[in-house]
Structure 1
Amino acid sequence: MNLETATRENLEHIVKEIKDSLKIVNAAIITADDFKLEQYEELLDIYRMIEKKQGRLTMMEIEGVLDELRDLKQNG
């Protein structure tokens, strides 16, 4: 999958992978529909950071990611 192109399908994939990596219990609190394609680059940056850490995030990093997602969601 080429994630360089901002498509709705890629956005959905990235959001799903972020949720899976963070092990979000209530997955309904974050959905791909919460975000616009204009926010794709920011979401891709978050996704890449999580992938780079291979899912081994500290609690502070997880909180930071969730804060960033919340900000993006509110601005969406």
Structure 2
Amino acid sequence: MDLSVKSSENIEFMIEQITTKLRMVNVGAIKPDHFGEASYEDLRDLYEMVQRKSHFSPSEMQAIAEELGNLRK
């Protein structure tokens, strides 16, 4: 998958991967259609950071969830 291309499919993929890796319980609150291309680069940065780490503290998970909330349309 080429994440350098801004597309709704890539946004959906990144959101799915982030929520799966973090084992987020309330994934219904974070839907791909809540994110637009304006926040694509920030979302990709967040996705790449999440993919690099293997373990997250509760405070890191909270910060990531807050950042996802900030990136919503």
* 1:47 counterpart = 2:50: no
Displacement of 1:31 after TM fit?
0.4
Paired with 2:35 and 2:8, the residues of 1 have a C-alpha distance of: 10
Alignment-derived partner of residue 34 in structure 2 = 34
Where 2:24 maps in the other structure, the secondary structure is coil
Alignment-derived partner of residue 66 in structure 2 = 67
Alignment-derived partner of residue 57 in structure 2 = 58
Identical-residue share of aligned pairs (%): 32
Amino acid at match of 1:36: G
Deviations 1:2-61 (A, max 9, x none): 11111111011001111111111121110001111111111101100011113x111111
The count of corresponding residues between Structure 1 and Structure 2 is: 73
Moved over 2 A (4+): none
Gaps spanning 5+ residues in structure 1: where?
none
Amino acid at match of 1:22: L
Alignment-derived partner of residue 5 in structure 2 = 5
Amino acid at match of 1:69: L
Amino acid at match of 1:43: L
Paired with 2:70 and 2:38, the residues of 1 have a C-alpha distance of: 14
TM-score, normalising length: structure 1: 0.89
Paired with 1:35 and 1:21, the residues of 2 have a C-alpha distance of: 19
